[in-house]
Amino acid sequence: METKMRAIQGMLSGWAPFDLAALRQNAVILREACHHSESLFEGGHVERGSRAQATVWEKPEAFDREFQKLHEAVETFIETLDAGDRTDIAIATHDLRQTCDSCHATFRKPEP
Ligand code: HEC
């Protein structure tokens, strides 16, 4: 997901050519990854080396809400891509990034 996010942000910040079709492709892969990643937490077990906080399973409602926000942000992002307004796209990218960071801040352990 990070790779896709970087690709998207790179294109928007200008160091990669702005290419709506490529952006959309990245966004669609990101959306798949987001849905897939939610299921990774369902078993309730923590793998060795995992940076998932115990709060993921202690506060499942809050964790689900964060995922819900992520899904919505990805959908909005894809909608702005379809509409094609660069300002809206930039705002949606920023919002999307924030949903990643917001969840990591609560549910992911800091780097070892
Ligand atoms: C609902 C909460 C949540 C959201 C939203 C979320 N993440 Fe995460 N992310 C986690 C947790 C928890 C971990 C730690 C998982 C682990 O170490 O087992 C993690 C780990 C990661 C990792 C480390 C990958 C790995 O395999 O260890 C990356 C990169 C990452 N997230 C990127 C993103 C990006 C980019 C987004 C937004 C598009 C995002 N995440 C949104 C909770 C979230």
The model's pLDDT over 23-55, given as tens digits with 9 standing for 90+, comes to 888 888 888 776 667 777 766 656 667 888 888
Task: Give the per-residue pLDDT at 12.
Answer: 64
| Ligand 1 proximal residues by C-beta, below 6 Å | 1-2, 5, 30, 50-52, 56, 63, 66-67, 70, 99-100, 103-104, 107-108
> Are the C-beta atoms of 8 and 23 separated by less than 8 Å?
yes
Residue 58: CB atoms within 10 Å? 9
CATH number for the 2-37+54-107 domain, one of 1.20.120.10, 2.60.120.330, 3.40.50.1100, 3.40.50.360?
1.20.120.10
The model's pLDDT over 70-81, given as tens digits with 9 standing for 90+, comes to 888 988 998 998
Q: Model pTM?
A: 0.84
Query: To 5 degrees, how large is the angle CA 61–CA 104–CA 98?
Result: 95
Name which of 30, 43, 42, 48 is nearest 99 in CA terms: 30
Which ligand 1 atom lies nearest to the CA of residue 1? 35
